[in-house]
Structure 1
Amino acid sequence: MPTIRNGLAVLALADARLPNGGHVHSGGVEQAAASGLVTTVEDLREFLYGRLRSAGFTSAVFAAAATHAAANGEVDWLVLDAELDARTPSPAQREASRAQGRGLVRAGRAAWPSPALDTLVAVTGRPHHPLVLGVLAAAAGTEPWAAALVAGYQSVSGPSSAAVRLLGLDPFAANAVLVDLSGELDRLADTAAALAHLPPGDLPAPGSPALDLLAEAHHHHHREEVRLFAS
């Protein structure tokens, strides 16, 4: 595990209290619960493991790549943003990522303003959340590994919290599930950081058709009935 530079910034970026709007997104848990796919702590464990290995890994890779790019000053943000768009088949998930990115831009400009962040926004309009996260990590003086760690953690911590709210699960048991994923999260961050230097077109992204379908179903039902979460 690398030594983390500027640990306070990393903790702040991972903190659920950061006002970036992430608390209104369930990461697919709301639809999974409504469909009866997640009803117990063990169901949640399997869901979070799968989410970390798929959507979480993709977010971690692109967050690490954005940190590397911002730190080195040579990047085509439009290409990096488009490559992440291409690896996110679900329109609902793309919209959720951009909505969270917009929220993080507002928070980031107050805490870690940087020319790279301004350029990212100017070029892409509404950048994806992992790219904003990576740029802020670079502005805070930390490394791709830390950005990947935060991205991976957020991919499971938000859904875990949502499951407690939606299903009334034991919060201590749900938190224990997160802790059990710590080794997997460290390995994910290691892999993502090792790939951060690759050209955008070569960055990997494991597919997750189930999450795509849950996101699209949630979007459809959200227009017909009140839901607690936006995605």
Structure 2
Amino acid sequence: MTGFHSGLAVLALADARFPNGGHVHSGGVEEAAASGLVSDVGQLREFLFGRLRSAGAVAAVFAAAAAHAAAAGHRADWLALDGELDARTPSPAQREASRAQGRGLIRAGRAAWQAPALTDLLAATGRPHHPIVLGVLTAASGAGVWEAALVAGYQSVSGPSSAAVRLLGLDPFAVNAVLVELTADLDDIADAAAATAHLPPSDLPAPGSPALDLLAEAHDRHHREEVRLFAS
């Protein structure tokens, strides 16, 4: 039954209904839509593919590394992991969004699981990034590094896809079909993240996306000037 329980926990973490606050973040889609960069399903497909292969890959890597550290008891890694993810997130707006979502996930995760490593993470970092919290909770649920990476990668595209439906009135069936098209890419990212989860934090992969950084900063500026539907 252990495998069933951990599998159910992974599904709960990936579920959009899990109350971690992710529903208020669009992952750049709101600014992309406002700028005319994403207006239909085809353009959304390209956006999500790029996001998965950049921000999604980084999130998967750090979620897997955090799950590995939590399972192995390597609690001295928390500050290093948090700092290295900061270094791979050049946009201050994206760093803030990640930490805000991490805070929401901590509240929800504490209600669902006993996770001593989470206490150590908070003591070391104060306000950790979302992928690191996700990795710790995945380990607490009994699941492994691959599952942590899979959930992180999935969330990097599932949230933006839902935001696109709300913002642009896109056909939800067509948008969900786009997510299914990304299955092989998501598996590849989870495989790669799991394979590097044991590395020192400074040696973890660092794919980047300057376009997403610019969108995040533009959204943050516009959000201060006018009401936006999403926080990021």
Q: Give the TM interval when normalised to the shorter protein.
A: over 0.9
Residue type of the alignment partner of 2:63:
A
Deviates more, 1:112-121 or 1:211-220: 112-121
Please say if residues 81 and 128 of structure 1, whose CA atoms lie closer than 8 Å, have aligned partners that are also in contact. Answer: yes
Which residue in 2 is equivalent to 1:33?
33
Deviates more, 1:110-119 or 1:37-46: 110-119
Q: Report the alpha carbon displacement of residue 112 of structure 1 after superposing the two structures with TM.
A: 1.2
When the two structures are aligned, how many residues end up with a matched partner? 229
Would the alpha carbon gap of residues 113 and 12 (structure 1) be closer, same or farther in structure 2, given more than 3 Å must change? same
Which residue in 2 is equivalent to 1:157?
158
Provide the rounded CA distance (Å) in 2 between the counterparts of 1:39 and 1:114: 42
Which residue in 2 is equivalent to 1:148?
149
Q: Report the alpha carbon displacement of residue 69 of structure 1 after superposing the two structures with TM.
A: 0.3
CA deviation vs aligned residue, 1:74-115 (integer Å, no higher than 9, x gap)? 132111100000000000000000000000000010101211
Residue type of the alignment partner of 1:86:
A
Provide the rounded CA distance (Å) in 2 between the counterparts of 1:133 and 1:101: 8
Instruction: Please state whether the residue corresponding to 1:223 is helix, strand or coil.
Output: helix
Provide the rounded CA distance (Å) in 1 between the counterparts of 2:116 and 2:183: 33
Which residue in 1 is equivalent to 2:223?
222
Provide the rounded CA distance (Å) in 1 between the counterparts of 2:130 and 2:23: 14
Provide the rounded CA distance (Å) in 1 between the counterparts of 2:183 and 2:5: 20
- TM-score of the pair, normalised by structure 2: 0.97
Please say if residues 29 and 38 of structure 1, whose CA atoms lie closer than 8 Å, have aligned partners that are also in contact. Answer: yes
Provide the rounded CA distance (Å) in 1 between the counterparts of 2:134 and 2:74: 17
Which residue in 1 is equivalent to 2:187?
186
Identity %, equivalent residues = 80
Residue type of the alignment partner of 1:170:
D
Residue type of the alignment partner of 2:73:
G
Please say if residues 24 and 229 of structure 1, whose CA atoms lie closer than 8 Å, have aligned partners that are also in contact. Answer: yes
Which residue in 2 is equivalent to 1:110?
111
Which residue in 2 is equivalent to 1:24?
24
Provide the rounded CA distance (Å) in 2 between the counterparts of 1:35 and 1:147: 33
Please say if residues 5 and 143 of structure 1, whose CA atoms lie closer than 8 Å, have aligned partners that are also in contact. Answer: no
Runs in 1 of length 4+ with deviation above 2 angstroms? none
Q: How does 1:1-231 map to 2 (within 5 A)?
A: 6-75=6-75, 76-231=77-232
Provide the rounded CA distance (Å) in 1 between the counterparts of 2:189 and 2:113: 25
Q: Report the alpha carbon displacement of residue 5 of structure 1 after superposing the two structures with TM.
A: 7.3
Instruction: Please state whether the residue corresponding to 2:17 is helix, strand or coil.
Output: coil
More helix by share: 2
CA deviation vs aligned residue, 1:139-159 (integer Å, no higher than 9, x gap)? 000000000000000000000
Structure 2 gap segments, 5+ residues each:
none
Please say if residues 4 and 142 of structure 1, whose CA atoms lie closer than 8 Å, have aligned partners that are also in contact. Answer: no
Instruction: Please state whether the residue corresponding to 1:6 is helix, strand or coil.
Output: helix
Please say if residues 4 and 146 of structure 1, whose CA atoms lie closer than 8 Å, have aligned partners that are also in contact. Answer: no
Give the aligned CA root-mean-square deviation in angstroms: 1.0
Instruction: Please state whether the residue corresponding to 2:27 is helix, strand or coil.
Output: coil
Provide the rounded CA distance (Å) in 1 between the counterparts of 2:187 and 2:81: 24
